[in-house]
Structure formats: C-alpha cells, structure tokens
Structure 1
Amino acid sequence: MTDDIPPDHPEFWSSRYLSVNTPWDFDGVPGDLKEFLKRKDTGTNPQARGKVLIPGCGLGHEIRAFTAAGYDVTAIDFAPGAVERARRLNGTALASRIILGDFFTHDFTPNSFDYVYERAFICALLPDRREVYRARIASLLKYRGSLLGYFYYQKPVLSEGPPYGFAWGAADELFARYFILVKDTPVADSVPMFAGRERWQEWRRTSFKD
C-alpha cells in the first residue's frame, strides 16, 4: 500500500474502510480463533472466562465471537471509518464496546486484561513502534495473561508497507523480555496477502520486571 497520507495517521485507514479497500480483512472469524475459543470452553461459568482487549480492531468480526463465548470484550481503533463500520456490523448491543481512540494513549486500567487479541495490528505499525507496542501490551495484561493471535512473517523482510512483517526470530527477540511463547502454529486460512507467512501464536505474560 502506498499513499500520500502516512500509515500512522487515522485517515490512511479510515478512507480504506469507508471505500471497502481492506484486503487484510478476513470477513469473519478465522479458524485458529475458533479453535482457541473451543479449547477454552470448559463448560464453567462464562463470566469467569476473562476480559479481552482487541487493539486496532478494524471491523471487529471477532467481537461477537468472544462475546458469545462468554468473554468481556473491549475493542479500540483510531480510524473513524473502521469504528463506524464495526459498530454497524456488531449491532447496538455491542457498539458501546468499540472505542474510537488511540490504543497507546487511551486510559485503560493497568494489568486489567486476561487476553489481548492481535489481528493485523502490529503489522500495520511502523517497525520502530514495536517496542512501544510490547510495553503497552505488557502493561495492560494481568500476570499470566496472554497476547494471542496472528503474526505476519516475511523472508526477506521488506521495507515497504504496510503490512510490515517480522523477520524469522524477531518476534521471539521482541517479546522475550515479558512473555513466553506457549503456542505457535502455521495458519491455514490466511487472506491472500498473508498466505503462507502467518502464524497463530500465544504469548503468556511472565514477568513484571522493568
């Protein structure tokens, strides 16, 4: 993607959502998330399943899936076009769960989420923002909470984007300070722009060291 507006500006994304130019959008709930929700469905009180944050939620197809499975969901995106469409898609009952705001500066309560769900957000950020992303995620998760979702890898790594892929091993280096990788599998149902280069990963928060 190229544009006169830089990708760290809301309008870069908002115009794409409003014109339905969203090749990164799965248009549904992807298979690995369905498997995760099924794996976590123990039949216990659904209210005990935890709080989920979805940063850079886009159209938020997964909001309904998490909610239906009993999770307390909050989603946020800084692109008005994305939030407008996500609220329509998810309906009145869930519209208040979708925040128009900046994930990095919004006033979330620290260490209050059990899960942060990643889907095409970190690969939309300029690579020099990754350490800020890591620190923000770490500050919002509870101890032993999980960052889970989809991570895009490139070989060779391309400087042009978005999307900006990880080099092989780069995510391990980035997250090792606060997380341990507990699940890592190839994705079978990626959209074409990510096909063959996407991994489902679950990173568990292990440390509160600075």
Structure 2
Amino acid sequence: MAGPDLEFWQQRFEQGSTPWDRGAANPQLQVWLREGSLSPCRILVPGCGNGHEVLALAAAGFDVTALDYAPAAVEGVGRRLGQAGLKATLIQADVRSWSPQTRFDAIYEQTCLCALHPDDWSIYAARLRDWLAPHGRLYALFMQAPKPGAAEGLIQGPPYHCDIHGMRALFPASQWRWPAPPYPRVDHPSGPHEIGVALQAEPRREPGSADIVELSRRLP
C-alpha cells in the first residue's frame, strides 16, 4: 500500500508522538455545536486518534462510533471515555475496507483524509458517501499543508495537503451539496491550517423505468 502503514501509526500512538494533536477538540467542532448546525444524532468519527472530538460529541449527547487504524489509538480513547464516564462505540479498522451495518446521520472528518496517501482518497471518499444515510452530512476539516516538493510533483506527508480545489473534485457537486464560500479557517499550533466545510450528501438517483427503456434501446 502507498503511504504510512499500520506499524507506522501504531508506533506513533504507543510513543505519544502525535504532533498533529491539539490536546483538545477542534475549535470548529465547538462552533458547529454551538450554532446548532450539528446536533445530537448517530455520528461516525473516522481516524479518531486520541479522541478529543469523540469525547466532546459523547458529552453533547451524540451516539458516537469512532474508528482508528491503530489499536493503541482505540485503546487510548477507551481509557479516556471510561475516565470521563462517557460511552462510544470504538472500532479498530481500516477505513478503506470497513463497512457499517447501518448508515450514519453525520460523519466528522478531521484527520483521516490528510493521513491517507492521495492514492487512497477516491476509495475513502466513496466510503464516506456509502456510510451516510440519505441527506446525511459530512463535517470536514480539510488540512491545508502544502509541501516544498509540490512544485516538482512530489507527494509528501502525512499530513497530505488537501487543496480545496482538489476537494471539490474529490467530493463533486453531483454527489455533495457545498455551501457557498468563504469557509472558516482554523489555525493549527503546528503551522498549517484547516478549512471547515459542512457537506450534505445529495440523494442517490435510482434508475427509473425511463432509464431501463433507454438502456434496452441501446442494447443489441
């Protein structure tokens, strides 16, 4: 596989080497909660890391399911939930292949996309859409972290730069409803910043009788 493997992420969490971690929930999550654009529902947090957002959502009354690739990350979130007297469903899984039994009302995407090698982005974007219920919403923080080698075509990360124009292509308007820009900018202590966007999944178009008739005309 391209990009960091399971051993890479497991070592980071075992050693506490997580420089991307703010030590608290993302400020934009607090804004979405305070404004009421994100209200208690069944929500998924892929790539949950140390779980600050998991705890914040659980404390706010959400039915939270959290995923992470690294067992050490999942174990750490479990400990923090127990210490806080909170509950969430925790799963150790690879987001590129995991499938839930039922779909979610919302997904909070913060550090998972930028941790995946860009070769895997289209797979992950398709998974996100599959995981959402009709009209479900994706609350995304797109990491803006351009690297010096980009001018020569080098792919450097993690975190990988989630250029907002690239995100428009990855999450096309035919499948996702984008709000009008400008979008909130969230500075990160390590230097890069994130762009916060709440996308709504467009309804899937099921083939109707007219489509079937047209297809039959084209078949030999």
Q: Taking structure 1 as reference, are residues 14 and 175 closer, same or farther at Cα in structure 2, changes over 3 Å only? A: same
State the alpha-carbon separation in 1 of the partners of residues 32 and 144 from structure 2. Answer: 21
Of 89, 92, 111, the residue aligned with 1:97 is: 89
1:1-210 alignment to 2 at 5 Å?
Answer: 7-40=3-36, 49-91=40-82, 93-94=85-86, 97-110=89-102, 112-155=103-146, 157=150, 159-176=155-172, 177-182=174-179, 185-195=183-193, 198-209=194-205
Q: Measure how far apart 1:187 and its partner are.
A: 2.6
Q: Unmatched 5+ residue regions in structure 1?
A: none
Q: How many residues align?
A: 198
State the alpha-carbon separation in 2 of the partners of residues 205 and 41 from structure 1. Answer: 15
Amino acid aligned to 1:160: Q
Secondary structure of 1:22's counterpart equals coil
Q: Unmatched 5+ residue regions in structure 2?
A: 207-220
State the alpha-carbon separation in 2 of the partners of residues 94 and 105 from structure 1. Answer: 28
Kept in 2, the 8 Å contact 1:77–1:83? The answer is yes
Q: Measure how far apart 1:27 and its partner are.
A: 1.1
Which moved further from structure 2: 93-102 or 163-172? Answer: 93-102
Q: Measure how far apart 1:41 and its partner are.
A: 7.7
**TM-score calculated relative to the size of structure 1:** 0.84
Q: Taking structure 1 as reference, are residues 123 and 191 closer, same or farther at Cα in structure 2, changes over 3 Å only? A: same
Q: Measure how far apart 1:109 and its partner are.
A: 2.4
Kept in 2, the 8 Å contact 1:75–1:99? The answer is yes
Amino acid aligned to 1:191: P
Kept in 1, the 8 Å contact 2:138–2:198? The answer is yes
Amino acid aligned to 2:90: I
Percent pairwise identity: 32
State the alpha-carbon separation in 1 of the partners of residues 23 and 29 from structure 2. Answer: 13
State the alpha-carbon separation in 1 of the partners of residues 166 and 6 from structure 2. Answer: 27
Q: Taking structure 1 as reference, are residues 8 and 209 closer, same or farther at Cα in structure 2, changes over 3 Å only? A: farther
State the alpha-carbon separation in 2 of the partners of residues 24 and 179 from structure 1. Answer: 28
Per-residue displacement from partner, 1:36-86 (whole Å, max 9, x unpaired)? 1111289xxx7xx31100011111111121112221100011201211211
Q: Taking structure 1 as reference, are residues 41 and 200 closer, same or farther at Cα in structure 2, changes over 3 Å only? A: closer
Q: Measure how far apart 1:119 and its partner are.
A: 1.2
Per-residue displacement from partner, 1:132-161 (whole Å, max 9, x unpaired)? 111100011012111113101345645111
Q: Taking structure 1 as reference, are residues 128 and 86 closer, same or farther at Cα in structure 2, changes over 3 Å only? A: same
Secondary structure of 1:73's counterpart equals strand
Q: Cα RMSD between the aligned structures?
A: 2.5
